[in-house]
Every structure is written in C-alpha cells, then in structure tokens.
Amino acid sequence: MSALALSRQPIGFGFSRSGSSPEAREVQKLTRQAFVQIKTQSRVSVALNDLDSLQAELFSSNDPLVFKAPFDLARRFLFALPTDLAIPELSLDPDGEIAFDWAAERGRNFSVSLGSTGRLSFAGKLGPEKCIYGMDQFDEVVAREIVDAVKALASNT
C-alpha cells in the first residue's frame, strides 16, 4: 500500500499572492479548490486501494462473501467521508457487510458496517462508560452522528 506524499506548503504556493484584482482572486480560489480536491482524492485513494485489496483477498480465497459484499457502495461511502476525518481501516463482517473501523487508545473504537441495501449499522466504545450505537441509510451523505463519533475518538477525550 502506498500513499501519495503531498506538499505541506500553503495553498497558492508558486502563484502570485499580491494580486487583488477579481481575476487574481478567482485564480487563487480555483487553485485552492484544486489543491483540496487533490488532497481529498489522495487520502481516499489509500482506503480505495485497501478496498481493492480486500476484494482481491476474497477472490483469491474463493470466499462466497465476495459476491455479497457491497464494494461499489463502499467506494461511494469513502468518497462521502468528510475530508478532515481519519481514513478508516477496512474489514469484512461474517455476514458479508463491509466494516469501516477506527480505533484509539485505551480500547476505544468505532465501526460502521455497510450492508448491500445501503444500511449503515454503527457502534463504538468512546470512553470507559460511553458507548453509542445506531443505524442509518447511506444516501451519499455520512450521518452527523457517525462523523461526530469518529471526531470524538480522535479528540482523545
């Protein structure tokens, strides 16, 4: 697995920063959008490669779940994740749903399972006494509850 190394230089590097005309500002805006898009795609590409690997592993092991697992939906789910969210690890549940897994210190974890109908089942242990779980229907947008849970995991609270 490989990741595209991106420059951490500020957006707009190499372009004129002194321009204040509408045209200059428009160029700057378009440049910023292009950088954000590239950054997003490279982050997602790591997970997409992992998804391809998962599919290949199932094929090579003649696992019948490969025909049940919703790989196309999973790709759309990955693209729908907010750009500031950590990229999940992937696994396959015993029932053929694709799981997106996040983990943190002290046994904290959160996972979303995606079924072939687009049903999302999620649950997590966000603290010693804090557990959450729920369901949602994936419709190209990732539910706020899921985003908040992953952010809570990352915030180390």
Partner 1 sequence: MKWLHAKLLMLLRRWLPTPDSRKLAVVAPDEELARFIFERRYVDQSGRAKQGAFLPELYKGRLETSVCRIRDVAVVRIWNLGKTVRPDKVLYARADFPHSAAISKSLKCLSTPEPNFSEHADLIGWPHGSDQKMRHKAIAAHLAGVATVSLVPQL
Q: Does the footprint of partner 1 cover residue 147 (CB under 8 A)?
A: no
Q: How far is CA 78 from CA 21, 43, 106, 114, 141, in A?
A: 38, 10, 26, 11, 10
CB of 46 to partner 1, least distance (A): 12
The count of residues interacting with partner 1 (CB under 8 A) is: 30
The CA angle 152-139-55, to the nearest 5 degrees, is: 80
134 sits in which H/E element: strand 131-137
Q: Does the footprint of partner 1 cover residue 101 (CB under 8 A)?
A: yes
Given candidates 52, 72, 84, 95, which one binds partner 1 under the rule CB under 8 A? 95
Q: Does the footprint of partner 1 cover residue 92 (CB under 8 A)?
A: yes
Q: Does the footprint of partner 1 cover residue 47 (CB under 8 A)?
A: no
Q: Does the footprint of partner 1 cover residue 94 (CB under 8 A)?
A: yes
How many residues in total does the chain contain? 157
Q: Note the residues at the interface with partner 1 (CB under 8 A).
A: 54, 89-95, 97, 99, 101, 103, 107-111, 113, 115, 119, 121-125, 131-135
